[in-house]
Amino acid sequence: MSLFTIGEQDFMLNGKPHRILAGALHYFRVHPDQWADRIRKARQMGLNTIETYVAWNMHAPTPDTFDTTGGLDLGRFLDLVAAEGLHAIVRPGPYICAEWDNGGLPAWLFGSGNPVIRSSDPVYMNLVRRYFEQLAPILVPRQIDAGGPIILVQIENEYGAYGADKDYLQELVELNRQIGLSVPFTTVDQPEPDMLDNGSLPGLHKTGSFGSRAKERLATLRQHQPTGPLMCSEFWVGWFDHWGAHHHTTAAGQAAQELEDLLAAGASVNIYMFHGGTNFGFTNGANDKGVFQPTVTSYDYDSPLDESGHPTAKYWAFREILARYTELDEHDVPAAKEEACSLELPLTQELSLWDYFDATADWTGSQELTSTDAMGHYSGFSVYRTQVQASAQAVLEFEEVRDRAQVFLNRQHVGTLSRDQKETSLVLPAHSGGTLEVLLEDQGRVNYGPRLGEPKGLIGSARLNGVPLKNWQVSPLQLLAGGPVSQAFDGVPQQQVEVLAGPVFARATFDHPVAGDLYFATHHWSKGLVWVNGFCLGRYWARGPQQTLYVPGTLLKPTGNEVLVLELHSATRAMVSFVAEHNLGHTES
């Protein structure tokens, strides 16, 4: 067993000064069979610590479940960190931001007695207490003083940018101690005086989050943390992307110089991100600062280790800097990147989304529109329907669309409304009558700011030529687990697909005898989702910047792999292409 404390000037490991050289690696963004590889490459770069958030909403998809299996086995992840000889920093939130759906807060939380989130509200804190009690058996025995890797635990996350409820922070501290956490606690905020003051307590060690002007930011941090070690616990070395915007990068040399400035000042660091990973499935978050902007599937973040786990120029530049501050074996380096193969294959089965939906729908009726949250459906797609009748052209208008609505009349597409374009109305053709259906996509919940926790769906009222539309039904579209969709293809004839007109599922099989990753090329496709062997890779969209989806090689087998695509609009070619290079789009500094 060891002892880790915060001294008057330094972090102290067994009574000796210790500098934390950490890298962020979120277990929930990396396939579990690849955890060990990514952790080892962190050590090989010169890091001595792995930092991770804990995503409450992933572990608790419903109030009555707490999943720690497979890719959510946090205990196994921390054990792999320890096996590599590294320490761990854990940031359990409960709020994490992280460009993650709802900032890690479960969507069901907001229907549990109207809690006031991120506050000392008793309803909220009771739910948070249960979450931390569920985490305790994983974290407590893995602390450094119990022989485990955990040296620090963070209280909340950049709270000074959100609120100033000191009672809330104090209750979190007490709760973390009550469940058995004994390691030092920290907070993190951007180095702005108000944020540093509001986001911490006198007994908590303040750290900073920034990506440039290290000397200046550390000086500000020192004014608010007069004793103990300085630490940038989110050293931003890249950035995340939104659909329809550019892919962000920072020059390796520039980022390395910022790291050098930080370390030369004597500070500890957590590189955010060391390895970003992927927003698989429907896990991406969104931002809304006047315009709704969902985050792309890739969380590459222009990190030292790219989305597919390979060292970049930034990795080697950082390794050179870190070698000045820690001992490195010059021969212990990651193996050369294996070449990915290119592969093209025809789609051999197609299935209308409506055929699948009609067989699986679970309708809930109401006079007025209701959110998808109200029926316990918290991600992905749903379908709203009602009956309409208009003798002339008619304007269909919704009060608010969250987040994208494809509108169909008698199963014929009549238009699409998009939240990011602030579109809420469209014109139905003359003599419109019959069944109006809206295929509604939740494109990711806001992860930062005052819109945390907002419900999804068609919100408020619906009108046809100004007259309220009533008698609605709504049903989830059950998609995330690829198995049910794949099973729906039983009995569908095998033949080469010539044209794809969505919304439609399409399927193909392929062999992959050579081990390694693949990259699904999306440039022939419009918008939709991809599954490989039942695992949802995430969303694609012709808007870019992302133009490929990462396929972890650990998902693949030598023969009989299945690729399944949901195309919402149309594809220019009814083919599946895997390419040799990951393409995340155009760049900007």
- Catalytic residue positions, numbered: 158, 234
User: CA torsion sign, 259 to 260 to 262 to 267?
Assistant: positive
Place of tokens 């993190």: 188
Dig out the tokens for 130 from the structure.
């249960």
User: CA torsion sign, 186 to 106 to 241 to 517?
Assistant: positive
CB atoms within 10 A of CB 322: 21
Q: Which of 315, 368, 311, 281 is nearest to 100 (CA)?
A: 281
Q: Which of 307, 143, 161 is nearest to 234 (CA)?
A: 161
Preceding omega of 455 cis (within 30 degrees of 0): no
3-class SS of residue 146: helix
Distance CA 447, CA 236 (A): 18
Do residues 24 and 272 make contact, with C-beta atoms less than 8 angstroms apart? yes
Distance CA 444, CA 440 (A): 12
- Give the H or E element holding residue 358: helix 353-360
Distance CA 273, CA 331 (A): 24
Helices 166-178 and 122-139, interaxial angle, to 10°?
30
Strand pairing category for 11-13 and 4-6: antiparallel
Do residues 401 and 419 make contact, with C-beta atoms less than 8 angstroms apart? yes
Task: Report the alpha-carbon angle 1-24-5, nearest 5.
Answer: 35
CB atoms within 10 A of CB 490: 6
DSSP assigned state of 84: T
Query: DSSP for 33-53?
Result: GGHHHHHHHHHHHT--EEEEE
Q: What spatial distance separates the first Cα and last Cα of the chain, rounded to whole Å?
A: 45
- Residue 4 carries which side chain, given as an amino acid letter? F
